[in-house]
Chain A
């Protein structure tokens, strides 16, 4: 068997694929963050909590109402997104004129409160959420067993990521959005309701987090701190990709997933620091991130 650095190539293929799967979670989450930062200039620290809310929403739908995974994929983002809209209308709206830091502090505080409430109610050890029947089982790819659910995660996440990128970068609606962030007064003068558009954008970003939460529910535990564990990494992804750059965060998400996966093979002890090492290096060389534009 051929080997690369003492690891059989077959095993390496498996690790690459797993890296891509984890990367697709990073991409989904950082996408939402990038949309919110790029269009609202808000550093949404509540993103992890909203991701957790999505997972809990799926769990509650299943256990209280008997509504399964597929409907949860639709309902949870709508419910959590609506909650995001309420947050934006009641609180975030007041902060647009202030420094980024205020938005960060507010959303960070919100995240702590939401997580605290859920920890109080459900404890920290997590709730079980089964993989939906259509997606159970695994395929033998020759070099590894690929669980069908994981394959679905890659496909769904790619579709959502590219769809979002397309809407924002290539359609008229996206053009309005981008124009509204550059010069809201002018866009408003053209008769477009800018505040409502901003609100909906935040709602959409939050819904993306909730969607990722539902996707994660069957493979990670549904627990109150599931988002807190992930959010720091995701922020690093966004910073490396370039704050606010949508394609940047998608590519970086997948790329870092792969790099982290390989670290788990060659030096597992460093697997949760490697992303931050890369972040430090990137910031030294390109302070605006790999795909960000210098302002």
Chain B
């Protein structure tokens, strides 16, 4: 009896020594990536199935170029834009299904929830789809990287450009949740900093069909610029109905603060022409982005990639690089390694990830082409200016992130 117990104790001790020893390992010998996105509602064309396809391409490309022996699996799920649904999927993935990292997650409300869960469970969260700058501000986490864009960058790029060209009085149409509030707040700051004035704001529920009532209020404000602090289907509907109510003919202008390629596609150039906004990726930038766009379109029903889907691709590449380098899939360690290594991918070029989790790269102020200038579907943007990486995002010290010393 005694000896049996002793053997067991020794075995346990040995086992412990092996797992906690210098040989870090990939859990379950598989790197499991979870793409959590809006698969069926207003943001599904921004991320959604296209993000899953982008993640697949990234894994494929990484295995080929690095001749890697990693075993990688991808799972995906629909968070339905509900933080509670997203949270329970994230928990299930981390606790039961062996998922090591979650990607994409458009919808800031869901993203902030997943951000916290990922930190508690010690996994990794590479966000592409959500906008709230709080992810690298007061909610920043050693387990999170915010890849593609954020509300500060949008506000700074679009808002700054518009105020400087004379659009100095603003009225906001704001989506009533974490994302809209953050975008409104960040844009208001930029407007005021550049000497503009905010005349008012109205908050509409997420996924609203009819904006005419809100547009009428915006019209009544006499503001020169109506800032659309919303996204996806909400932005499309606001722009479409603003045209109908003669807002632009009446002398007011729309500022789409967050517009994606898929939104322009849904609006048609007749309605969307002349819109100015900020993106960090456009498929027609160079040969590499064009090649990627063709491949993704082939895998995603002919739809060209949005910046969110491009961000998922680049994020997966860099994540796998880091996992392989330290031979571990432990969340905080991988993210630390991701921050240590400069990024280099075909879509965003060379860049870095800061201590607060912010991935930095250049941004582009784009203008939507007139129908006569476009050569066909998806030929939509003219690049007006390139905003250099060091000016595109909020300075690290201003975000209030506790990781920044």
Contact = CB atoms under 8 A, between A and B. Distances in A.
Q: What range describes how many residues of A lie at the interface? A: 35 or more
A115 to B, nearest CB: 8
Nearest to B176: A269
Contact of B42 (A22, A124, A271): A124
Interface in B218-245: 219-220, 232-233, 236-237, 240-241, 244-245
Given A130-B270, A219-B244, A226-B209, A125 B233 contact: yes
A293 interface: no
Interface stretch (A13-21, A170-178, A190-198): A13-21
Interface string A220-245: 11010110011000000000000000
Contact of A8 (B41, B207, B220, B241): B220
Contacts of A137: 246
Interface string B271-307: 1000000000000000000000000000001010000
Contact of A221 (B216, B217, B236, B246): B236
Given A125-B45, A138-B246, A147-B245, A221 B214 contact: no
A32 interface: no
Contacts, number: 115
Contact of B241 (A19, A144, A219, A268): A219
A220 B236 CA distance: 9
A220 B204 CA distance: 16
B341 interface: no
Given A126-B233, A138-B245, A147-B246, A221 B240 contact: yes
Interface in A33-71: none
B262 interface: yes
Nearest to A273: B205
Contacts of A264: 204, 213-214
A95 interface: no
8 contacts: A18-B216, A123-B303, A124-B43, A125-B266, A138-B246, A147-B246, A225-B42, A269-B176
Interface of A: 8, 11, 14-15, 18-19, 21-22, 119-121, 123-128, 130-131, 137-138, 144-145, 147, 149-150, 219-221, 223, 225-226, 229-230, 261, 264-265, 268-269, 271-272
